[in-house]
Amino acid sequence: MMRSGNALEALVAGLRGCPAADADWQAVIALANHTLLTPDLFSSLVRAGQIQRLPQDVRVYLRFVHDCNRERNLRLRGQLSEAVAALNRREIVPLLLKGAIPLFLSVPEHVPCRMTSDLDLAVEPVEEATAQACLEKLGYAPVARGRGLARRQDAGMLELRASQANGFGPPGLVERDGLRVKIPPVHSRAMHWTMHDLVKEGDYWRGRIDLRHLRDLAQLAESDHMDWTALQVAMSDRGARNALDTQLLALHHFFGTRIPASCARRPLVRFQHWRRVFTAKHPFLGAPLRLAGNLAWGARRFWHADGLARRGPLDVGRRIGRILFYSRAKI
């Protein structure tokens, strides 16, 4: 049976268009499914002209998942267009975030292969109530215990939030098929993904890697001019800078992205990078490191939590369980 490290290396090789000759494809597919990268794996191998090197049953499965995801993304694209059109009629131009950006910029013939869990939109704080009322007229209803909006007939939720300023200039206005949206600069998108994973979700402390978002960063760096040094300078404090440099080391390690040499200068960053890669490749041997990181992150969350005393023991127990055991497509 293939070790987890070998499955990870084989998956990354496939995403780079170079399938491993001795890959255990059952293990690779299991990891690709867990990290939500199965459609991207198929698409990468097709673009590289390497798909025929895989066993037939593997090719059939990968194509099936890819095609199902394509149909879902077409539905998400239609859902996004409907929401943007309704907001535009109220003179609201939403800011698109994360997976909503490539969906909006695509055409039906070339819909992205990225697996997208929901659609993220942001509006100006003064427009948030109007925007929510507008979407509710389309049949959306708030989801319990969450900030998303959903309808029964849709392929995914829609998340609406208030936009926040960043240090990379204003978003650009983009018009497609009569629809108007704002898209943040590429550096803002890279910062959002990095800070969301490593700081908000605690991957820096917990030693986890969101391989799908790492893949997103690698593709951003390939398609746009990315000045990682400018991103380093924009970090709010030393902790955020350490988190960014740790993510950049992982980006270079897995996808060969060119990064500033300064990323590897600090011993703490090098240790955090080693810890994340080691636990991803050796989940059983790395379990003590992962547990220590989860406990440290849990203590940090509880220490800074607002209103924790007002929560009941059941809710506190659920939060502890999520911190210690919930991985959500992480490795």
Q: Which two tokens stand for residue 259?
A: 């990064």
Cα–Cα–Cα angle for 196, 200, 203, nearest 5°? 85
Mean pLDDT of 76-93: 97
Domains of the chain: 80-184 (3.30.460.40), 185-331 (no CATH)
Mean per-residue pLDDT over the chain, rounded: 89
Side-chain-side CA neighbours of residue 100 (13 Å): 25
pTM over 0.85: yes
> Does 150 have pLDDT greater than 50?
yes
Contact present, 59 and 45 (Cβ < 8 Å):
no
313 pLDDT band, cuts 50/70/90, is low
For 306, the 3-state DSSP assignment is: coil
> Does 309 have pLDDT greater than 50?
no
283 pLDDT band, cuts 50/70/90, is confident
| Per-residue pLDDT tens over the stretch 181-221 | 999 999 999 998 899 899 888 999 999 999 999 999 999 99
CB neighbours of residue 281 within 10 Å? 17
Q: How far apart are CA 144 and CA 295, in angstroms?
A: 28
What does the H/E/C string look like for 78-144?
HHHHHHHHHHHHCCCCCEEECCHHHHHHCCHHHCCCCCCCEEEEEECHHHHHHHHHHHHHCCCEECC
pLDDT value for 73: 96
